[in-house]
Amino acid sequence: MVAFEQPHPHGALPPLAHLELPFFDDEHRALANRLAPWAASQEVDESDDRTACREWVRRLGADGWLRYCVAADHGGALPTLDSRALVILRETLAYHSPLADFAFAMQGLGSGALSLAGTPEQQTRYLPAVGRGEKIAAFALSEPDAGSDVAAMVTRATPSASGWTLNGCKTWISNGGLADFYLVFAKTDPDAGSRGISAFVVDADCTGLDSSEHLHVMAPHPLATLRFTDCAVTSDALVGPQQGGFKLAMKTLDIFRPSVAAAALGMARRAFAEAVAHAKSRKMFGQTLADFQLTQARLGEMGALIDAAAMLTYRAAWMRDRSATSGAGTAAYTAAAASAKLTATENAQKVIDMALQLFGGRGVQVGQVIEHLYRDIRSLRIYEGASEVQLLILGRHALKP
Residue 146 dihedral angles phi and psi, to the nearest 5°? -145, 85
CA dist 17 and 338 (Å) reads 25
DSSP annotation of 288:
E
Beta strands 181-187 and 137-140 are parallel
Strand, coil or helix: 160: coil
Q: Which helix (H) or strand (E) holds 380?
A: none
* Helices 98-117 and 49-62, packing angle to 10 deg: 60
Strand, coil or helix: 164: strand
CA dist 175 and 180 (Å) reads 9
Q: Decide if 198 contacts 186 (C-beta within 8 A).
A: yes
Residue 23 dihedral angles phi and psi, to the nearest 5°? -70, -20
CA dist 329 and 130 (Å) reads 30
| Contacts with 157 (C-beta within 8 Å, 6 or more apart), sequence order | 164, 165, 166, 186, 187, 188, 198, 200
Residue 384 appears among annotated catalytic residues: yes
Sign of CA dihedral 204, 83, 271, 33: negative
**Cα Rg of the chain, angstroms:** 21
Strand, coil or helix: 330: coil
CA dist 90 and 94 (Å) reads 6
CA dist 10 and 148 (Å) reads 40
The amino acid at 192: A
Residue length of the chain: 401
Beta bridge partners of residue 401, listed in sequence order? none
Sign of CA dihedral 41, 133, 171, 109: negative
Residues involved in catalysis: 384
